[in-house]
């Protein structure tokens, strides 16, 4: 047995690997001529269209900034990590971005549950974090370094409740994804406003992300004979819920939030989702020049119409860029203060001013699904 020699070789190999790794580390950290911005996005997995869109929007903003000469005389470099739509993974890759890549700020996540995982890490390390689309109120409550560029669920839930009441729907049943902070929050705020203003909740059921069979819950909800069903989760499960509801003879429209905004919803649900409604951050049908401009540029690059996640990703990066310009530095505290001072930023998803709770107050739009397309219905101001 030549054990000693082999272990000697092994040690050597380990040493080499380590050396290689440390080398990588230096490279990843960026040199004096780049500003490294980290992004955590769900590029694969259950909510992959969110992550892919947000990333496409963010990258577009970065490219525009660099084409215009960069920030503080440096180029911006976006380092994106995929969290596979997995709870648990978002925190890990956020840590990796902060410690390995030495990012100046963190963009992401779209899903509230995963943002809630990253926020304490960013807060502790003093790295400003901007979430493009996490609407659960708890996200920015984590600390003063956490921001968002979208409206929050109390507003979104209220908007949908108001909308239901305005249509004369007094009896609504709810279907909540208990695994998602987003869905739980949205249901809660919907119910609060709806019941206070004369509506009745005629049935309440729950499920978990990844479920495929919802027939049992829907059969139960059908008993209450609801005028509409609030399905407050994300698009994957919502698509299957719509299909199975129709199979059980439920004709009531579904209601939802921005978690529906994915072409995948219509792919899975097909006709079953026609005539349902959801609240969103922007509508591609909006004629405002800033929006149409964005859509043209996005289409030229990616070949399809941007969804709200792309627009929010773009807005989050632009707000960060403006703050870096204003602060004149990428140092954590100064940058944080500059982001917090964001006022009247003309974004794609509306005029963004961050309030003292680091939330954006913006109008919501309500969309419906018609012939497989998301069609604008109305805008609701806060």
Partner 1 sequence: MEQFIQQLLNGLFLGAIYALIALGYTMVYGVLRFINFAHGDVFMLGAFAGYYLHKALMPMMSALPAPVSAVVILLLSMLICGVLGIVIELLAYRPLRSRPRLNVLITAIGVSLFLEYTAQYIFGATQRPFPELIPKKTVEGLGGLYVSNTQVIVLVATLLLLLALRFIVMKTKMGLAMRALSLNPTAATLMGVNNSVVISFTFGLGSALAGAGGIFYASLYPSIEPFMGILPGLKAFVAAVLGGIGNIPGAALGGMIIGITETLVAGYSQDIGIPSGYKDGVAFVILILILLFKPSGLLGKVEREKV
Q: Applying CB under 8 A, which residues contact partner 1?
A: 44-46, 48-49, 84-85, 178-179, 204-208, 210, 212-213, 215-217, 219-220, 222-223, 236, 239-240, 243, 246-249, 264, 267-268
Cis peptide before 163 (omega within 30 of 0): no
Least distance in angstroms from the C-beta of 82 to partner 1:
9
Of 50 and 194, which has the nearer Cβ to partner 1?
50
Instruction: Find, among 126, 102, 104, 115, the residue nearest to 149 by Cα.
Output: 115
Of 31 and 223, which has the nearer Cβ to partner 1?
223
**The token pair that represents 89 in the structure block:** 């993974």
Return the sign of the alpha-carbon dihedral for residues 327, 332, 334, 337.
Answer: positive
Is 233:208 a contact under the CB 8 Å cutoff? no
Of 46 and 70, which has the nearer Cβ to partner 1?
46
Residues whose CB is less than 8 angstroms from the CB of residue 265 and which lie 6 or more positions away in sequence, other chains included: 235, 238, 239, 273, 369
Q: Which residues of 19-52 are buried (b: 16+ CB within 10 A; e: fewer)?
A: eeeeeeeeebebeeeebbbbbbbbbeebbbbbbb
Of 52 and 135, which has the nearer Cβ to partner 1?
52
Of 134 and 180, which has the nearer Cβ to partner 1?
180
Least distance in angstroms from the C-beta of 215 to partner 1:
4
Least distance in angstroms from the C-beta of 46 to partner 1:
6
DSSP, res 275: T
Of 38 and 203, which has the nearer Cβ to partner 1?
203
Of 61 and 309, which has the nearer Cβ to partner 1?
309
Least distance in angstroms from the C-beta of 303 to partner 1:
17
Least distance in angstroms from the C-beta of 266 to partner 1:
9
Least distance in angstroms from the C-beta of 229 to partner 1:
15
From residue 57, alpha-carbon distances to 127, 186, 318, 372 in Å are: 22, 25, 10, 23
Least distance in angstroms from the C-beta of 100 to partner 1:
23
Of 179 and 358, which has the nearer Cβ to partner 1?
179
Instruction: Find, among 314, 278, 275, 280, the residue nearest to 295 by Cα.
Output: 314
Is 322:347 a contact under the CB 8 Å cutoff? no
Question: Residue 98 CB: number of other CB atoms within 10 A?
Answer: 20
Least distance in angstroms from the C-beta of 126 to partner 1:
33
Instruction: Find, among 206, 211, 270, 204, the residue nearest to 236 by Cα.
Output: 211
């Amino acid at each position: 047995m030549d054990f000693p020699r082999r272990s000697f070789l092994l040690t050597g190999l380990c040493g080499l690997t380590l050396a290689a790794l440390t080398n990588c580390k230096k490279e990843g950290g960026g040199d004096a001529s780049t500003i490294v911005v980290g992004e955590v996005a769900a590029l694969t997995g259950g909510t992959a269209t969110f992550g892919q869109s947000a990333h496409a929007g963010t990258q577009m903003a970065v490219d525009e900034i660099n084409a215009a000469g960069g920030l503080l005389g440096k180029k911006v470099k976006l380092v994106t990590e995929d969290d596979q739509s997995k709870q648990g993974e978002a925190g890990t890759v956020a840590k990796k971005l902060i410690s390995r890549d030495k990012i100046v700020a963190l963009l992401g996540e779209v899903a509230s549950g995963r943002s809630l995982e990253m926020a304490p890490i960013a807060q502790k390390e003093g790295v400003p974090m901007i979430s493009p689309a996490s609407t659960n109120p708890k996200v920015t409550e984590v600390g003063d370094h956490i921001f968002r560029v979208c409206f929050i669920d109390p507003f979104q839930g209220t908007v949908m409740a108001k909308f239901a009441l305005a249509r004369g729907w007094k009896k609504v049943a709810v279907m909540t994804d208990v695994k998602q902070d987003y869905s739980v929050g949205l249901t809660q705020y919907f119910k609060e406003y709806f019941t206070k203003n004369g509506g009745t909740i005629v049935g309440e059921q729950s499920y978990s992300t990844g479920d495929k069979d919802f027939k049992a819950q829907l059969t139960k909800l059908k008993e209450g004979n609801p005028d509409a069903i609030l399905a407050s989760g994300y698009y994957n499960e919502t698509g299957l819920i719509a299909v199975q509801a129709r199979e059980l003879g439920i004709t009531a429209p579904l209601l939802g939030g921005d978690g529906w905004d994915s072409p995948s919803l219509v792919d899975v649900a097909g006709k079953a989702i026609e005539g349902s409604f959801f609240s969103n951050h922007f509508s591609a049908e909006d004629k405002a020049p800033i929006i149409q401009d964005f859509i043209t540029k996005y289409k030229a690059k990616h070949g399809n119409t941007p969804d709200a996640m792309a627009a929010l990703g773009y807005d989050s990066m632009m707000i960060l860029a403006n703050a870096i310009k204003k602060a004149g530095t990428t140092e954590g505290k100064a940058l944080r203060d500059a982001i917090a001072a964001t006022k009247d930023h003309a974004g794609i998803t509306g005029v963004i001013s961050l309030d003292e709770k680091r939330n954006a107050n913006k109008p919501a739009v309500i969309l419906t699904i018609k012939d497989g397309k998301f069609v604008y219905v109305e805008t609701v101001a806060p």
